[in-house]
Amino acid sequence: MSRGRPPVRGLEDALRIAKARGRVLQFVQDGECPAEFAIRVRGNLVFVRVRRAVPFRYTAEQFGTEFRWAADGLLGLRESGQEIFELWLYSKKGNFRFFRIEEAGIREIGRDGEPLYRAGVPEGSPATPSPSEDTSIREPGKTEAVQGSV
């Protein structure tokens, strides 16, 4: 079942973004396919649904409710568990937001497919530095030599 007219302009932009992530397999749009295309990334198949969102400032949970029909359609493609499902939303000005669809809900990701927020850090709160980041405080006047500096 089709929900509105096809996202022609948004789909063109989405395909450019998708090609930067991996090999793209575009589907024939007959009104029955729940995804516009799939991306082959690191051994996984990422199924992507592209839609225009008005308004564009919703939270991930609000978009999850608004586009529940799209999420259900994507999750219906699950077979082996190796599939990843994403909803790519764009504004009338051509800005994109990306979301991963999971059984437990929806979460925002970056255009590279990586989560925007760390586990345990609520959406909208300032991100905490990871243990690998240097968070030490240096004493004033003390500097460290950087290899390769002049």
- Assessment of whether the complete model's pTM goes beyond 0.95: no
d(CA 107, CA 130): 20
146 located within any domain:
no
User: Is the residue at 136 inside a domain?
Assistant: no
Q: What is the pLDDT of residues 24-50, one digit of tens each?
A: 999 987 777 889 999 999 888 999 999
**148 within some domain:** no
Tokens representing residue 83 in the block: 């599939």
Any idea what the CATH number is for the domain that residue 51 is in? Answer: 3.40.1350.10
pLDDT tens for residues 64-105?
A: 888 888 888 888 888 777 899 999 999 999 999 999 998 888
Strand pairing of 44-52 and 105-109? unpaired
Q: Is 123 among the domain residues?
A: no
- Domain span including residue 53: 8-109
Residue 52 lies in a domain: yes
Total count of domains within the chain:
1
User: How far is C-alpha 92 from the chain's CA centre?
Assistant: 18
Q: Which residue has the tokens 């978009």?
A: 63
Residue 73, domain member (yes or no): yes
CB under 8 Å to 17, separation ≥6 — which residues? 88, 96, 111
